[in-house]
Amino acid sequence: WDPALIVAQAAVLQAAFYLLLGAALLPAAALLGAPPQLGQLFDGRRMHSGPAQALLLAAAFLAASLLTAVVAVPVVERAKKCLDFCATLHLVHLAVCVAVAGLPHAWQWWLLQALSLLLMTIVSEYLCMQRELQEIQLSSVRPQPV
């Protein structure tokens, strides 16, 4: 067990999530006719800004979760570790949200985070299992005919 590797893997996954979330929020902000803001990432009160904004924020979060699950496959490497890394990512996100805007009170925000965690975990576990089930090539040397 290598703590430095685990921290590095978690940091890579967290960075990928925020990068993908930011990329997903750009078109959402353009559709709303508003400039993208960090508050869209970290402020749970944005879920009360209107149904259109809430729906676009939810779609961006779920898209980022789905894409982060794909990134998790080479980073995490094992299906049994996916839940740990995905839960850690969401706990760190909660901590950042609390530090930036206080504890989110909107039930929609909590539901969105639960769905995001569920989607990211299930998809990353499935993809990791598919990767684990691939045949392992032992040798590239061809047997010589007798």
Q: Write out pLDDT tens, residues 50-109.
A: 888 888 889 999 999 999 999 999 999 999 999 999 999 999 999 999 999 999 998 999
Mean pLDDT of the chain: 90
Nearest to 20 by CA among 56, 76, 70, 55: 70
In the predicted model, is pLDDT for residue 138 greater than 90?
no
Triad 28, 34, 36: Cα angle to 5°: 65
**Cα separation of the two ends of the chain:** 46
User: What are the CA-CA distances from residue 16 to residues 70, 74, 108, 143 (Å)?
Assistant: 10, 12, 24, 44
Cβ neighbourhood burial of 122 (10 Å; 0-12, 13-18, 19+): middle
Q: What are phi and psi of 83, to 5 degrees?
A: -60, -45
Residue 49 tokens, joined: 């800004």
Triad 22, 14, 58: Cα angle to 5°: 45
- Helices (H), ranges, 33-105: 39-42, 51-76, 79-101
Q: The pTM is what? A: 0.86
